[in-house]
Structure 1
Amino acid sequence: MTGALFSFMAMAISGRELSADFTTYQILFFRSLVGVLLIAALISTSRPGWLQVHTQRRGAHLLRNIAHFGGQYGWFYGLAFIPLAEVIAIEFTTPVWTALLACLLLGERLTAPRLAALVLGVAGLLLILRPGSGTLQPAALAVMAGAIGYALSYIQTKSLSATETPLCILFYMTLIQLPFGMVPSLLHWQTPPLHALPWIVLVSITAMSAHYCMARAFRLADATVVVPMDFMRLPLIALVGYLFYDELIDWPVALGALMMLAGNLINIRAEQRKSGLRQEVFKAPRSPE
């Protein structure tokens, strides 16, 4: 999780720095271009190599990456216009939208803990956005739309993970999203200046390392450990924004994020208890009859 936290912060900083020279589409194009080369190298050195990218689910990959590209566009667009902490805080609504969309699209039950997480998440989001106060910005709405895009991509990832390897999913992510960013970038093309090259490499590497570290963290520890650590991104990125960009800490944003954290923890603890009960029932000794 420490690796994931530093990766997310580095990705946010590099995205902010690149926004001074490039459009959001160009940032996503360069990110995918470097990313596909990195993933190709990893596939070449892993087993079973390129066999794992053979897929019968091209349509599912396409749908996932349309949603994921929309999520990334909203996130990087927001980095250019609103404080870093606000971007991260709004992004934390992704579990809320995931639960709601899973209920609508996958038929999953909206239990009381999930409903509590949904209510707290929406309340926290309203506190952050403060509609009607005159402070609502289009960039904040773009980040919120991006969070919904991420939620759709997570649902599709859940389906793909049953048949595809993680490297296969990452490979098609970078490959499919490459033309999504390239085509609009060509309309306003700008050759990267030398000072931007390190930021381009950094945003591409940290995008991969963040997801890898997060996946490893969930494999090694319970969600009740991982999720609170993930919320450390907010105070850490707020500190970065204060030190490097003179961004003041917005207390409504912090309070709204805490409400989201509370809702997520309520839902996670409930799911853990449910999982524990299932395991106890499975392990319970059967009667001689």
Structure 2
Amino acid sequence: MSPVESAAGSRAAAAVWKAVLLMLASACMFGCMAVVIRLASTQLHPFEIAFFRNLFGLAFALPLLLRHGPGLLKTSKLSLYAFRSAIGIVSMLCGFWAIVNLPLAQAVSLSYSTPLFVTIGAVLVLGEVVRARRWTAVGLGFIGVLLIVRPGADFSPGVLVALCAAALSAAVAISIKFLSRTEKADAIVLYTTLLWVPLSLGPALWVWETPQGIIWLWIVLAGFFGTAGHMCWARALKLGDASMLTPISFLQVPLVAAAGYLLFDERLDLWIGTGAAIIFTANVYIAHREAQLARRAVTDPDISSEPPATR
């Protein structure tokens, strides 16, 4: 192997790990956002919280224009941005409602049926190659989620709302990956936030109540964590496959489960711990395997001819 090939392989593997770390950071940010949404819900309806999350999120995203200049907004994909934002706002409203009305761990766990939809969509829409081992890891991660959710528990309509948010979130992930082929990650974040503000205003006006006291802090933090998480998420999807990265965001589940226990007296039991352990194991394997394949794809031209079952 020549030094050039070795360096190229190392760079490819480093890009995969960078994408993994960005997705992990995104999971932490979104987990914190879920906590402050629940705190703000002591006074505000989730639809109004969603509006303020977008309004303050836009304030935190506007410095991107100072960094890149007005040229950041130049695009030929405005219709795709609009489509992605429309899907995203419905997913957000459903997700916020679930966070407020279901136990935190259950609401976020249900959102992790998303990888199943993402994996299928990544194959059908993006043409990504998802091989047997990654399918297995994603499946194991989903089993971990099911252990946390415990489908045998009493059914409630809120579960359907959370699952709707998850399915729409998968479409959002696919659309971001498609946009990231030609658009800058910062442009995706800024355009999305710009469109989300007016889209979320209408539902908020139906349930409007002026925030009071510390609630202002929670909704400002919701905007910060939401925008920061979105930035990390968009950058991660720019660097790696959607079907690889989405399962990594499972880290959000044990984070919000712990927060629910400590802050809201929600039960933290063996099922949650077992499910989180399975999810973590699956995520570590996915990240490790993809780093190996990225290096081998550069240094070994024949890797593309390997049978999928061996990869």
Q: Distance in 2 between matches of 1:117 and 1:163?
A: 30
CA 1:69/1:227 → structure 2, altered by over 3 Å: closer, same or farther? Answer: closer
Count of paired positions: 278
Match of 1:187 in 2: 206
Match of 1:223 in 2: none
Report the 3-state secondary structure (helix = DSSP H, G, I; strand = E; otherwise coil) of the residue aligned with 2:266.
coil
> Residue 59 of structure 1: CA displacement?
1.4
CA 1:153/1:92 → structure 2, altered by over 3 Å: closer, same or farther? Answer: same
Match of 2:161 in 1: 142
TM-score (norm 1): 0.81
Match of 1:287 in 2: none
Match of 2:195 in 1: 176
Match of 2:219 in 1: 200
CA 1:178/1:214 → structure 2, altered by over 3 Å: closer, same or farther? Answer: closer
CA 1:59/1:228 → structure 2, altered by over 3 Å: closer, same or farther? Answer: closer
Match of 1:252 in 2: 271
> Residue 14 of structure 1: CA displacement?
1.2
Q: Distance in 2 between matches of 1:153 and 1:195?
A: 32
Match of 2:76 in 1: 56
Q: Percent identity?
A: 30
Q: Is the 8 A contact 1:89 1:257 kept in 2?
A: no
Establish whether residue 80 from structure 1 lines up as the match of residue 100 from structure 2. yes
Instruction: Summarize deviations over 1:36-95 as a string: whole Å, max 9, x none.
Output: 23222331x212x11111111111111212232233223322211222222333334433
Match of 1:286 in 2: none
> Residue 155 of structure 1: CA displacement?
1.1
Instruction: Summarize deviations over 1:161-203 as a string: whole Å, max 9, x none.
Output: 1222222111111121122211122223222223321111110
Q: Distance in 2 between matches of 1:109 and 1:235?
A: 29
Match of 1:40 in 2: 62
Q: Is the 8 A contact 2:185 2:235 kept in 1?
A: no
Q: Is the 8 A contact 2:27 2:250 kept in 1?
A: no
Match of 1:152 in 2: 171
CA 1:107/1:5 → structure 2, altered by over 3 Å: closer, same or farther? Answer: closer
1:90 is matched with which residue: 98, 110, 114? 110
> Residue 8 of structure 1: CA displacement?
3.3
Q: Is the 8 A contact 1:4 1:213 kept in 2?
A: yes
Q: Distance in 1 between matches of 2:161 and 2:276?
A: 18
Q: Distance in 2 between matches of 1:38 and 1:31?
A: 10
Letter in 1 for 2:93: Y
> Residue 236 of structure 1: CA displacement?
3.5
TM-score (norm 2): 0.76
Q: Distance in 1 between matches of 2:294 and 2:25?
A: 28
Gaps of 5+ in 1: 221-225, 284-289
Farther-moved stretch of structure 1 (18-27 vs 107-116): 107-116
CA 1:184/1:5 → structure 2, altered by over 3 Å: closer, same or farther? Answer: closer
Report the 3-state secondary structure (helix = DSSP H, G, I; strand = E; otherwise coil) of the residue aligned with 2:277.
helix
